[in-house]
Amino acid sequence: MIEKALKGNTIYWGWLALLLALIALGAACYIRQFNFGMGLTGMGRDLSWGLYISQFTFLVGVAAGGLMLVLPFYIHDYKVFGRLTILGEFLAISAIVMCLMFVMADIGQPIRGLNMILHPTPNSMLFWDMVVLLGYLTLNVICGWVILTAEKKEIKPPKWVYFFVYVSIPFAVSIHTVTAMLYCGLPSRHFWLSAITAPRFLASAFAAGPALILIFCVIMKKLAHFDAGKEAVNKLITIIMYAAIINAFFVCMEFFVGFYSNVPGHLHSLEYLFFGLEHDGHTYNNLVPVMWTSVVMCFAGLAVFSYMKLAKVQTDTLVVLGCTLTFLSLFLDKGLGFVLGGLVVNPLNEVTEYYPTLNEILVSVGIWATGFLLVTLLYKIAVAVEHEVEA
Amino acid sequence: MDNNRRSFLKIAGITALAGIGAPVAAHLSSSPAAASAEAHGAPQEGHEAARESGKRDGVRLGMVIDMRKFYGHPEMLDKVIAACDKAHNIPHIGNKKSEIKWIWKAPYANAFPDQSVAHSSKTIAENDFLVLCNHCDQPPCVRVCPTKATFVLEENGIVAMDYHRCIGCRFCMMACPYGARSFNWEDPRPYISEYNPDFPTRMRGVVEKCTFCEERLALGQQPACVEAVKDCGAIVFGDLNNPESQICQVLAKENTIQRSPAYGTKPSVFYIV
């Protein structure tokens, strides 16, 4: 089936060329970082996780978001999502590859990465995160590829593959739960030390993942004559709305706990993220515009979707607008605010702000480009198979 | 002082036996814990006391920092820090972002962020405090490390580092409630002012921290910081599980505090303030 990715028009090849150029740029920056050390990033002794780990966290959510397509189709036999489940699986593959690349970019001795497997350590959540991420990647490769092959041959998928499909459902939940456990089990990081962290991660994942898939659907409708179907899009929007509202509710609960209890540890990160943190006569507030943008985008996205529901209109422009607002809102909230906000006050009650360096940003761009390249190729194959079957 | 020194060297010797010559120690006695108990002639009390408080059995090394002896003498703090830096080839990188520190000084409010500083005394407000790895009995850094590159030495409770196994994920730095860990953001070697050939330098991309000078203990020496201020005995080092050790006698006599004990880490470093 891979040959299907080798046929395309100018837009397709131009897009691939752009992605490859960005990947090359990212790779060059990574080589610089590899040769010099992590000092080329904006991270430091007091704030030692940054852009890489925060985007890793966000992308685990994108990978888990595919569950919102797989679960209704396979568990509830919701046939409308039939054409979309493969997109969820292929997006999960691409997102997890990006996750693994972000982790590799973040570790100081990537050459020793195999120590994670050579010296397995069950008490470390990072070990379990590796286990569930590699497991989920494998499951999606198996399910996606076998089901697509069956579709191409116009036969039913083999029965055994359903075993892996059903196993992949709890795995999708587990990847984001274990990723939350990286954070919520650390004694002195008050902002993360919250039992709501994992549920919040899952809620935002179930909004961000489907939102990205809907954006891709509209793009493929324009460029590749792939129609997801009106009802499927409508149902996904409902799912995104509920997930985004639940996420916002969880964030509000964090606000209540922090501000009503008035316990400094719970309060400081929220103050820093949304209002600016006063400390020793200096106000630290570099993420305040980012977080309010996230809040505005979240409600704007919900407003667009609500309008679509109430006025019973469904245009591609509105779908893309609503989904982009929701996706970016959650990216800013989880892909930046959550990790950086939790680290702004160090265990010695000193405040450090983080600014990523250009090198670090370009490495991240390179990793995103790799993910988009992968998703483009996989979706190209999926859509080509679909067209072949229809013809 | 003589007596104290002798009892200290006994612990150090046993630690060395257990650590460096494990087969020899195994030959001499069934376990390092038993060896220490025998040596101190108080097998029962020591062990029961340890069990009652839910602590690790056997030797558990700890430290009491008598801050009273440092008040008004900031040069003594610097002397301690310099001794550690020299003993462990700690680079002086000169920017806060990339700095490496094993033992350093911090204001009371930063060293003890959970303690009140409202109306603190002049002494507390004007003096800096020594901070270092607490060699916790329940170390969160060890709990989170995905490669066992940081671990508790069973024979003495030291939280040790394997610089050759560390993958540099910095999860331990996230977990440590004391900010005790440093990461090599770049090659540290060009920044070492006075090279000590007896201790390994580190490479970029790994985490490091205070090791309670396990390499010096193995030679029967005291930790570098303890030795730097030995004239006035400002830092007492020894076995927290042996009621007859000097450190336990100091702890029984003086009122001490630990840094952020509420995290349940059971720090092994105590302060007289």
Q: How many Å apart are CA A336 and CA A290, to the nearest integer?
A: 9
CA dihedral B82, B86, B92, B98 (to 10 degrees): -100
Put simply, whether A184 touches B (Cβ < 8 Å) is no
Alpha helices for A312-357 (secondary structure H): 316-332, 339-343
pLDDT at B53 over 80: no
Using a CB-CB cut-off of 8 Å, the residues of chain B touching A44 are 96-98, 185
pLDDT at A190 over 90: yes
Report the pLDDT value the prediction gives residue B255, as an integer from 0 to 100. Answer: 96
pLDDT at B19 over 60: no
| Share above pLDDT 90 across residues of chain A, in percent, rounded to a whole number | 90
Domain covering B61-272 assigned CATH 3.40.190.10 in the classification: no
**Residue found under tokens 């993942």:** A209
Comparing CB atoms, the residue among A38, A39, A186 nearest residue B174 is A186
Comparing CB atoms, the residue among A106, A115, A350 nearest residue B147 is A115
* Letter string b/e over residues A355-379, b meaning 16 or more CB atoms within 10 A of that residue's CB: ebbebbebbbebbbbbbbbbbbbbb
pLDDT at A360 over 60: yes
Mean pLDDT of the B98-126 span = 93
Mean pLDDT of the A225-231 span = 90
| Residue A142: band (very low, low, confident or very high) from pLDDT cuts 50, 70, 90 | very high
Report the pLDDT value the prediction gives residue A367, as an integer from 0 to 100. Answer: 98
* Beta pairing class for B207-208 and B150-152: unpaired
Sign of CA dihedral A349, A351, A357, A363: positive
Mean pLDDT of the A160-171 span = 94
pLDDT at A389 over 90: no
More confident residue, A109 or B52: A109
Long-range contacts of range A279-283, CB-CB < 8 Å, 24 or more positions apart? Answer: A279/A345, A279/A351, A280/A351, A282/A351
Report the pLDDT value the prediction gives residue A46, as an integer from 0 to 100. Answer: 94
Q: How many Å apart are CA A295 and CA A318, to the nearest integer?
A: 19
Tell me the pLDDT tens digit for each residue of B58-94. Answer: 899 999 999 999 999 999 999 999 999 999 999 999 8
Chain A interface disruption, residue of B112, B133, B150, B174, most A CBs within 10 A: B174
Q: How many Å apart are CA A65 and CA B3, to the nearest integer?
A: 67
Put simply, whether B103 touches A (Cβ < 8 Å) is no
pLDDT at A199 over 50: yes
List the one residue out of B222, B226, B182 whose CA is nearest residue B76. Answer: B226
| Residue B18: band (very low, low, confident or very high) from pLDDT cuts 50, 70, 90 | very low
| Share above pLDDT 70 across residues of chain A, in percent, rounded to a whole number | 100
Tally the residues of chain B. 273
When mean pLDDT is compared across A211-215, A321-325, B113-117, the lowest value belongs to B113-117
Mean pLDDT of the B153-176 span = 95
Report the pLDDT value the prediction gives residue B57, as an integer from 0 to 100. Answer: 75
Report the pLDDT value the prediction gives residue B10, as an integer from 0 to 100. Answer: 52
Report the pLDDT value the prediction gives residue A3, as an integer from 0 to 100. Answer: 84
Report the pLDDT value the prediction gives residue B7, as an integer from 0 to 100. Answer: 54
Residue of A nearest to B93 (CA): A39
Q: How many Å apart are CA B271 and CA B269, to the nearest integer?
A: 7
pLDDT at A373 over 70: yes
Report the pLDDT value the prediction gives residue B52, as an integer from 0 to 100. Answer: 43
Mean pLDDT of the A368-387 span = 94
Tell me the pLDDT tens digit for each residue of A284-307. Answer: 999 999 999 999 999 999 999 999
Comparing CB atoms, the residue among A48, A125, A185 nearest residue B183 is A48
Report the pLDDT value the prediction gives residue A248, as an integer from 0 to 100. Answer: 95
Report the pLDDT value the prediction gives residue A82, as an integer from 0 to 100. Answer: 87
Using a CB-CB cut-off of 8 Å, the residues of chain A touching B165 are 112, 115, 119
Mean pLDDT of the B167-185 span = 96
Using a CB-CB cut-off of 8 Å, the residues of chain B touching A188 are 176-177, 260, 263
Please give the mean pLDDT across all residues of chain A: 94
Domains plus CATH for chain A?
Answer: 2-390 (1.20.1630.10)
| Tokens (6 digits) for B122 | 């002049």
Report the pLDDT value the prediction gives residue B36, as an integer from 0 to 100. Answer: 40
**Residue found under tokens 């982009």:** A324
Report the pLDDT value the prediction gives residue A9, as an integer from 0 to 100. Answer: 87
| Residue B55: band (very low, low, confident or very high) from pLDDT cuts 50, 70, 90 | low
Mean pLDDT of the B228-246 span = 95
| Tokens (6 digits) for A345 | 């006050």
Listed by start position, the domains of chain B span 2-52, 61-272
How far off is chain B from A328, nearest CA to CA, in Å?
27
Put simply, whether B5 touches A (Cβ < 8 Å) is no
Q: How many Å apart are CA B89 and CA B202, to the nearest integer?
A: 9
Report the pLDDT value the prediction gives residue B25, as an integer from 0 to 100. Answer: 34
How far off is chain B from A192, nearest CA to CA, in Å?
11
pLDDT at A282 over 70: yes
Residues 320-349 of A with CB under 8 A from B: 346-349
Alpha helices for B88-193 (secondary structure H): 108-111, 122-126, 140-144, 171-175
Specify the amino acid at residue B33: A
pLDDT at A48 over 80: yes
Comparing CB atoms, the residue among A45, A118, A125 nearest residue B182 is A45
Tell me the pLDDT tens digit for each residue of A99-138. Answer: 999 999 999 999 999 999 999 999 999 999 999 999 999 9
